[in-house]
Amino acid sequence: MTLLAIFLNAPMRAFALGDSFDLCSFVSIQSGEDISLWTLEAFGPILLSRSVFAVRRDAFESEAVVTSRLANTIFSYFPSRLPSPSIVIPMSTLQNSADSVVSRRTDIRNIAIIAHVDHGKTTLVDCLLRQCGQFRASQVSGECILDSNDLERERGITILAKNIAIEWKGVKINLIDTPGHADFGGEVERVLRMADGALVLVDAAEGPMPQTRFVLSKALEANLRPVVVINKIDRPDARPHEVLDEVLGLFLELGADDELADFPFVYSSAREGFSSSVVSDRSGTMAPLLDLVLEKIPGPLVAPDAPLQMLVTTLDWSDYVGRIAIGRVESGTLSKNIAIVRSTADGSIVPAKVTALQTFDKLGRVDAMEVTAGDIAAVSGLENVEIGDTLCDAMDPRPLARITIDEPTLSMVFGVNSSPLAGRSGKYLTTRHLRDRLMRELERNVALRVEPVPGTEQFSVSGRGLLHLSVLIETMRREGFELSVGKPRVIIRKEGDVELEPFETLVVEVPHDRLGPVMELTGSRRAQMVHMGSRGDFANVVFSIPARGLIGLRTRVLNATQGTAIMHHRFESWRPQEGDISGRATGALVSMVAGKAVAFGLDSLQERAELFVSPGDEVYEGMVVGENSRSEDMAVNPTKEKKLTNMRASGSDRNILLKPPRRMSLEESLEYIEEDELVEVTPAAVRLRKILLSEHDRRRNARQKT
């Protein structure tokens, strides 16, 4: 069956969609009058028995509204014979086809590498760089070549998506390395718009994990052609055949049809540098994988003679040229020094000029005079360009649909540092500095939301998770900012009279003899066990848990299991809000004076508490210096010194032995604090403090609440 979708607009155009829903032909109807659906059905025999559908577009209606109405018309007519409405091709793509011949490029491939965290994406890119034959050994030495950011190297994870290009058998392959952690899913969602296919990496021992499901679902929504790579088959506990069956089950769960379920696959070890279609073959190079990519992943579908369209999916910054817009040229040709227009978020059209143009080549970018449809370009000279803008032909602007990103689930309150030690080590201390920095972050971090808190000089910053926001805080700290951050809170939605909160899927791998503490801790946080399995010496348990219950859970689980548990989670759905979840069971030791901590004063405190400071550390009134063994807070004096006298007595002096203090990372500090506490972040230190520094103020506030 072939569908003919007609948009009633002047001039009217009709577009034929084949069974595979690729554009195959189009016709024009020279008529300005309104044509009803019944009249159009009469065209069926004339148009080779095609089924014809139409909607009328009023002047005030947006493209998305018209496309939605067209989809509803089609699916109400053939509800049982068509796939889901997500396959409706955007009007802009159809219009391009009506104006020019649509063709598929064979000299280029745009591929995103997606996987769960630590399944080997960046290591695979390193291996492909070494074996593509375009680099000297010194250029690709070391590990995780693309993880150039200091935070990425310290944490061993990819935070920002990166573009490179290699050449294989005369075909240029644009590779997009994506983050694997669920908190950076926004990076994955936006860069998938530049790709035509995806390498889906799966660990041969762990199998599909929560983030594997997330990135694969986004790839299928974007109609990318997947190639599955069963990686790390050299692991002693590898089970490649079982993992391949699990991947097939995941495809079917996500609604893949017969064609997608028959996905191409290859076995590999990125660390050892080989790939093969046979699991027993443990030698060779990555040539089988690259050949499979060229064979199974199609080149971009382009309309080279149509008006220019390029969707901005990434922003870079240069001290010399300012903002650099990165995206794929969807149609037409983008040339240097030409006048174009830019479609913004509010629908306005802004004139612009391309002052510099680059394409990706190897590990960097090279200057180009023009970039044709299907390739990825970096454009300079565009003031105030934002992610989601469309670069269009100045004479015939046709904006593309803007990027849509899943909503954030966690928020924190950012404010300036107001502690007595403020200004000692930072350069940026004021609310203006903080506001400007957060606004700049919004330009590149599409999954972030920033809103001012009414009546204060603070900002509510929302993101995908604790790691997402903590990376932003750590980056600001290293740039010289001083700020205070409140307790993480989940975002509550309200639909009618029902309050909804985010739930997440939590996967825990733990030795069988350590399973009891995990069940106890997750149960106290209203988690429901969904599945339990066994893999060797480890139990694999899947929970459905409120996002509130995840705050602080990782540290407690690691402590209870002596560091043997492995935890992963991803967003699941919005559900009616559960009951209260208990907070921290212990109180805090709060300094009542300012000064420097003294060993004599700390010695008397360590008997009843765990300390966060060591002798010589500077403290102030209201600063949290330790954890009380009881549930209430206690005001203490860590600066207390021993009184000196002229009398000597045998046995009155004793050697003071202090336990090492507990030094918490930024993430651990954010998980630890309660509603009445803040994390003070400076370039030199991370401290915990009470919101109200004076003990008198805290007591008065407690009385008012009761």
Q: Angle at CA 575, nearest 5°, toward 571 and 578? A: 105
Residues 676 and 691: beta-carbon distance below 8 Å: yes
Domain boundary pick from 549, 576, 603: 576
Q: Is the pTM of this model over 0.75?
A: no
Is residue 48 classed as helix, strand or coil in its secondary structure? Answer: coil
Co-location of 171 and 281 in the same domain: yes
Indicate if 79 and 203 belong to the same structural domain.
no
pLDDT for the residue 138: 56
Q: How far apart are the first and last CA of the chain?
A: 71
- Report pLDDT for 459: 93
Q: What's the CA gap between 648 and 669, in Å, rounded?
A: 44
Residue at which a domain ends, from 36, 68, 99: 99
CA 321 to chain centre: 27
pLDDT at 403 over 70: yes
* Residue 205 sits in the same domain as residue 108: yes
C-alpha Rg value of the chain to the nearest Å: 29
Residue 606: which residues within 8 A CB-CB, separation 6 or more? 658, 659
Statement: residue 497 has pLDDT above 80: yes
pLDDT value, residue 26: 32
Residue 690 lies in a domain: no
Q: Considering the domain boundaries, does residue 75 fall inside one? A: yes
In a domain, 634, yes or no: no
On whether the CB atoms of residues 379 and 324 are closer than 8 A, the answer is: yes
> Do residue 126 and residue 92 come from a single domain?
no
Residue 323's pLDDT is 82
Give per-residue pLDDT as tens, 648-659: 655 556 677 888
Whether residue 234 is found in the same domain as residue 138: yes
pLDDT in tens, 12-49: 333 333 333 333 233 333 333 333 332 333 333 323 22
What is the domain range of residue 337?
Answer: 303-393
Tokens coding 377: 């370009």
Beta bridge partners of 138: none
Model pLDDT, residue 383 = 82
Q: Rounded mean pLDDT of 110-124?
A: 83
**Of 46, 69, 99, which marks where a domain is finished?**
99
Domain shared by 129 and 143, yes or no: yes
Task: Judge if 325 and 285 occupy the same domain.
Answer: no
For all residues of the chain together, what is the average pLDDT? 78
Same domain for 316 and 285:
no
Give the total number of structural domains in the chain. Answer: 4
Of 71-75, 386-390, 453-457, the range with the lowest mean pLDDT is 71-75
CATH of the domain at 359: 2.40.30.10
